[in-house]
Amino acid sequence: MDSAGTGGWHAGESPDKRSIKVARDRGIEISHQRARKVNKEDLVSFDLIFAMDQKNFADLLQLAENEHRHKIHLFLEFAGLGTKDVPDPWYGNESDFVNVFNLLEKASNQAFQRIVNECINK
C-alpha cells in the first residue's frame, strides 16, 4: 500500500497538520509519510489504484498503458458510494478533515469487503 498524487508540487512534504491530528486521534500515525508523485512503475507494480477525484482519475488513465488501465478506479465508486469526488478539506477547518476521514474510513471498509468477496467468488 502507498499513497501518491498526480501532481508533484508537494513532493517530500509531510501530511497537513490537521490530517496528522485527525489520524492520530483515531490511533493512526501518518506523520512519517511524505508526498510523492505517482509514476509509471506504480501502474505496473500495484494491483489496484484509487483516484480520489475525477481529475486525478483522468490523469491516471492518461498516464497508464492500456494493459494497466483496468487497475484504476474512482475510490468512492469502487467502494459502492457513488461517483462523487472525495472532498478536499485543504481550505476548510479540522471538522472538514474529520468528515473526510470518516468518509474514507467507510469507503475503505466497503472496498476491503468488495475485494474479499471478489477473491472468495473466483
Q: Are 10 and 34 in contact (CB under 8 A)?
A: no
User: pLDDT means per 10 residues in the chain (122 residues)?
Assistant: 87 96 97 96 97 97 97 98 96 97 98 97 86
- Who's near 22: CB < 8 A, 6+ residues apart? 94, 97, 98, 101
Q: Is the pTM of this model over 0.85?
A: yes
Cell 511524505 belongs to 34
Which pLDDT value is given to residue 2? 85
The CATH number of the structural domain formed by 17-120 is 3.40.50.2300
Phi, psi of 49 (to 5 degrees): -130, 120
- Per domain, the residue ranges of the chain are 17-120
